[in-house]
Each structure stands twice: as C-alpha cells, then as structure tokens.
Amino acid sequence: MSDVIYRVNEVFETIQGEGFYSGTPAVFIRMQGCDVGCPWCDTKHTWTVALDDERSLAEINQPSGDRQRWAQASADELLVLIQSYQAKHIVITGGEPCWYDLKPLTAKLHDQGYMCQLETSGTYDIQIDERSFVTVSPKINMRGKRDVLASAMQRANEVKHPVGRQSDIDALDALLVHCPTEAQIALQPISQQKRATDLCIQTCIDRNWRLSVQLHKYIGVL
C-alpha cells in the first residue's frame, strides 16, 4: 500500500470554493488523468497523462496555470509538500483522483492532523481512509460512457451535482436511492448560467438542499 505513486498536476493553497466546506482554507492536490469526458470541464488539461509532460516534483508545487504537466509523487513526498502550507484541510481532486488508491496518502494526512476531502465523479471505486470526507459530483451520461457506481454514492458524505436543466435533477433523483440519508445534497449551476442558477435555487428551496455557487470564480481566486 505504501508504494503507491501518484501523478500530480499541481499542489497549491487557496480556499475551498464549492460545497459543504466552501470558504475553508485548503491545500488542493490535483491528480493527473481522467477519462470521464465532461464537456464543461474547466480542468481538461488534467485528462491526459503524456510521458512528454512529466516534470519535477518541485515544479508542481504551485498552480499549473492550466498546463498539461504532472510529476510522480509518493504519499510521503506529498506530505512534505503539504507541510509547507498553513491550511489543515486537504482537497484531493483532479482529473479523476479515484484512478488512484488514496488510502496511503489520506491515512498519512489524517494521522498528521489534517482533514481530507475527496472530490470524485463517482465512476471509479473509492479507495480512501474512512476518516475522509467524500464529495461525489456524479457525472451521468458523459462522453467517457462510465456509469456512476452505487458504491460511490453509498460512500458519499456530500453529493454535489452539476445542473444545467431539469433533466439533470431528474437523473440525480435516480442515484439518490443509493445515498445515505445523512448525506448533504448540493446543486451547482453549470458555468454560472442564470437559467441553471434559478433552477438550482428553487429546487434547493423546495427540497431543503444546499446551493453551491463556485465561490472562487465569483471572487476571482484559484
């Protein structure tokens, strides 16, 4: 388990801008690699793992600027990078971070007093320390043709669903039968569209759900 090597696009400190922990200072670990194929994805530079894009670990210890680059890192090496920052909340995202076994990394972080949050599409098995907070942002009928797993929905502490139209909410309803009753449900308008935002607001009011507004985009931070 301790020999897992991660391909990482960037490590940087900012605030969490989405979902339950919105506004929380956080260190983001962005993994390289994803085959889900969301058309609105704002990190498409993380999709491909090309050998020519490998860089040193020192270079990825900063925002990537949307560059398609990555470095190999062990859990111990990532812990050293993270200890250079102030935030104690760690967000593991991608790409699709569940390409990787995250148990070695998250166990080390929790043992050192950090709080880990995973952000995943729910289309891969979730291998993570049981103390971690799991945010599933279910990606349904995407180009990669991967199904959202019932096991991923069952592990979710939070379901943060991207919404553009009513059919997206209908598709979410079909998945929620697998979800723990105590899980937080948040709707997130796609691309800050007014029509989608209005739909999310009304649905959250009607169902007593939460609204996730991508705070970092409104205030202009990473």
| DSSP letter assigned to residue 5 | E
**Is 212 labelled as part of a ligand binding site?**
no
Tell me the DSSP string of 100-113: S--HHHHHHHHHTT
The predicted structure's pLDDT at residue 191: 72
Residue 200 and residue 163: Cα distance in Å, rounded?
7
pLDDT surpasses 80 at 15: yes
**Is 41 labelled as part of a ligand binding site?**
yes
**Is 16 labelled as part of a ligand binding site?**
yes
- Sheet harboring 25-31: ordered strands across? 71-74, 5-15, 25-31, 89-93, 115-120, 133-136, 158-163, 184-189, 210-211
The whole model's pTM is what?
0.94
**Is 139 labelled as part of a ligand binding site?**
yes
Beta pairing, strands 89-93 & 115-120: parallel
**Is 60 labelled as part of a ligand binding site?**
no
| H-state helical runs in 86-158 | 103-111, 150-155
**Is 131 labelled as part of a ligand binding site?**
no
Q: How confident is the model at residue 1 (pLDDT cuts 50, 70, 90)?
A: very low
What are 114-153's pLDDT values in tens digits? 999 999 999 999 999 999 999 999 999 999 999 999 999 9
**Is 17 labelled as part of a ligand binding site?**
yes
- Residue 54's DSSP bridge partners are 70
**Is 40 labelled as part of a ligand binding site?**
yes
**Is 138 labelled as part of a ligand binding site?**
yes
CATH of domain 5-161: 3.20.20.70
**Is 95 labelled as part of a ligand binding site?**
yes
